[in-house]
Amino acid sequence: MWRRSSVVHVVDELARAQRRERWRVEVEALLVGLAWAVWSVRLELALVLVLAVMQRLVGGVLGWIAVVACVAGVVAIPRTRRFLGHLLRAMHVRRAWARATIDAGVAAGPFRCPGVWSVSRVPAGDVLDVHVRRGQSVADLDARSEHLAACLRAREVRVLRDRRNAARASVLVIRRDPFEDAAPVTWPSVTTERLSLWEPVPLGVDEQGEHVAVSLVERNVLIGGEPGAGKSAALSVVIAAATLDPETRVWLLDGKLVELAAWAPLARKVAGPSGDDALALLREVRDVMDERYRELLAKGQRKVRRGDGLPLHLVVCDELAFYLTVPERAVQKEFAELLRDLVARGRAAGVIVCAATQKPGADVVPSALRDLFGFRLAMRCTTPQASDTILGQGWASAGADASDIPGAQRGVGYLLADGDRPVRMRGYYLSDEDVSAIAERASAARADKWLAEGVSA
Ligand SMILES: Nc1ncnc2c1ncn2[C@@H]1O[C@H](COP(=O)(O)OP(=O)(O)O)[C@@H](O)[C@H]1O
Ligand SMILES: [Mg+2]
């Protein structure tokens, strides 16, 4: 009897201890939850507190009038309204981010979420400057990006690790396609009098609304994409920049003859669909390049430098595949060999090659030539494989797939240039009127330069 009651007593004691423990855990979770809820609305609470203090300080009806006047003042002034709107929105994004990281399994719980140091709004959505906590990694974030996107009800979440700090990442929460239904974006230098090709050339805008500019010196660019994707338009922007630099010599190869016709008066030489013309042009550029190397040797220099007085040469080839598939095999072969030579050796001599083609596959463009192009621009393609042929193997599966560009989005493409990964951007567009205005201005600048040199000579 005694034994039985003591066992019951022990069991009761144990059950009470378990209940106490459960209760303690629940109270703790409740307190953390409460603290967390208060912490997430700290800005809103602080604002209410400021108003409450103001009302108390002024007191009575006057106090309420002061509160109303203060709120009305903030709302009425566009700058303060925008500022407050931005602050409140940033807090909202932070809260959503924190919830998402907990639900997606990145953070173990409240106060363990990767911190958001700043939130900025961009055309595609929001960019978060994120710092992960001890024990977390940016790779974890990247691995859970699909879950995060689903929690945030976003189209996509892109995580870009800071190269200098493993704990820091720039997280792009893509909520909309900034290139959807957007009107063509005019080239910012459309009214500029003069440019220098030694400076980066603005090519387009990225998803964050930033200008994308690339320095073409010592670079070669390959543009690929289906017909109508915007390849010739992209080439036009590069040519415009080169012609606005009176020092630069432009060489044009245009398989269709009409695409680049407006720039013809500014070019050193133009080759149309004739294979022989194209070969003659490339041979001439090769001779210029060889001569340039002799000059560099004489000067004891290894490459052209800004201020040398040695002009840059831009060789533009639209419809590259056309020249590589002409019926005469000897022409095909020599064309590929000459172009490969220019792309391979031209960089240090100041020769820049920009080529566009619908089909950069190895059956059309020899890999030995294609692989030499440092910069790639993949505009809309039909398949992920075609996109990879332009950008390089593996990019389509890593999210840079030009076949996912909608057909209506002309001029949109993935640019693989100086950065680690391709940047989705919309190329600037020059209308026919813009092109003729720029060509006219460029001709005038070149004539002025020629006259000035003639007078001083
Ligand atoms: N960056 C752009 N922005 C807006 N529209 C563009 C852009 N690039 C091209 N387009 C439109 O697409 C059409 C086809 O462009 P084009 O450069 O001729 O294509 P491709 O050379 O690839 O066949 C142009 O006539 C123009 O209307
Ligand atoms: Mg074209």
Task: Report the distance separating Cα 75 and Cα 67, nearest Å.
Answer: 12
Q: What's the number of domains the chain is made of?
A: 2
Q: Which domain CATH number covers 98?
A: 3.30.980.40
215 & 169 share domain: no
Other C-beta atoms closer than 10 Å to the C-beta of 111 total: 12
Is residue 237 in a domain? yes
- The dihedral sign for the CA sequence 387, 390, 395, 400: negative
Q: From the CA of 380, which ligand is nearest?
A: 1
Q: What are phi and psi of 115, to 5 degrees?
A: -70, 145
Please indicate whether residue 60, judged by its CB atom, sits closer than 6 Å to ligand 1: no
Report if residue 305 sits inside a domain.
Answer: yes
Q: Could you list the residue range(s) of the whole structural domain that residue 163 is in?
A: 75-176
165 and 268 share one domain? no
Q: Phi/psi at 358 (nearest 5 deg)?
A: -75, -40
Q: What is the CATH number of the domain that holds 255?
A: 3.40.50.300
Kindly state whether residues 393 and 430 are assigned to the same domain: yes
Q: How far is CA 363 from CA 27, 179, 325, in A?
A: 70, 33, 10
Closest by alpha carbon to 415, among 163, 112, 203?
Answer: 203
- 119 and 257 share a domain? no
Q: Is residue 380 in contact with ligand 1, taking CB distance under 6 Å?
A: no
Per-residue pLDDT of the chain in tens (457 residues, 90 and over written 9): 556 778 888 888 999 999 999 999 999 999 999 999 999 899 999 999 999 999 999 988 999 999 999 999 999 999 999 999 999 999 999 999 999 999 999 999 889 999 999 999 998 999 999 999 999 999 999 999 999 999 999 999 999 999 899 999 999 999 998 898 778 999 999 999 999 999 999 999 999 889 999 999 999 999 999 999 999 999 999 999 999 999 999 999 998 888 899 999 999 999 999 999 999 999 999 999 999 999 999 989 999 999 888 899 999 999 999 999 999 999 999 999 999 999 999 999 999 999 999 988 888 888 888 889 999 999 999 999 999 999 988 899 888 999 999 988 999 999 999 878 899 999 999 999 999 999 999 999 888 888 887 655 4
Is there a single domain that holds both residue 281 and residue 382? yes
60-82 in b/e burial notation, b at 16+ Cβ within 10 A?
eeebeebbeeeeeeeeeeeeeee
On whether 227 is known to bind a ligand per the annotation, the reply is yes
Residue 219 and residue 374 in contact, taking contact as beta carbons nearer than 8 Å: yes
Is any ligand 1 atom within 6 A of the Cβ of residue 357? no
Q: Is 370 in the pocket of ligand 1 (CB under 6 A)?
A: no
CA of 252 to the centre of ligand 2 (A): 13
Q: Evaluate whether residue 5 is within a structural domain.
A: no
93 lies in a domain?
Answer: yes
Tell me the C-alpha distance between 40 and 33, whole Å: 10
Whether residue 328 lies inside any domain: the answer is yes
Q: In terms of domains, do 411 and 295 share one?
A: yes
* Residue partners of 408: CB distance under 8 A and separation at least 6: none
> Residue 406 class from Cβ within 10 Å (0-12 exposed, 13-18 middle, 19+ buried)?
exposed
Closest ligand to C-alpha of residue 205 is: 1
The answer, yes or no, to whether any atom of ligand 1 lies below 6 A from the CB of 232, is yes
- Residue pair 377/415 in contact (Cβ under 8 Å)? The answer is yes
- Residue 14 domain-assigned? no
Q: Please state the three-class secondary structure of 312-371 as a single string.
A: CEEEEEECHHHHHCCCCHHHHHHHHHHHHHHHHHCHHHCEEEEEEECCCCCCCCCHHHHC
Tell me: do 83 and 218 sit in the same domain. no
The reply to whether 332 falls in a domain is yes
Instruction: Please check whether residues 212 and 104 belong to one and the same domain.
Output: no
Query: Do 170 and 214 fall into the same domain?
Result: no
Q: Where is the domain boundary, 143, 176, 209?
A: 176
Same domain, 155 and 249: no
In a domain, 223, yes or no: yes
Does residue 264 share a domain with residue 162? no
Pocket probe mutation, ligand 1, options 410, 424, 425, 428, max atoms within 8 Å of Cβ: 410
- Whether residues 385 and 430 share a domain: the answer is yes
Structure tokens at 65: 């009038």
The atom of ligand 1 lying closest to the CA of 318 is 21
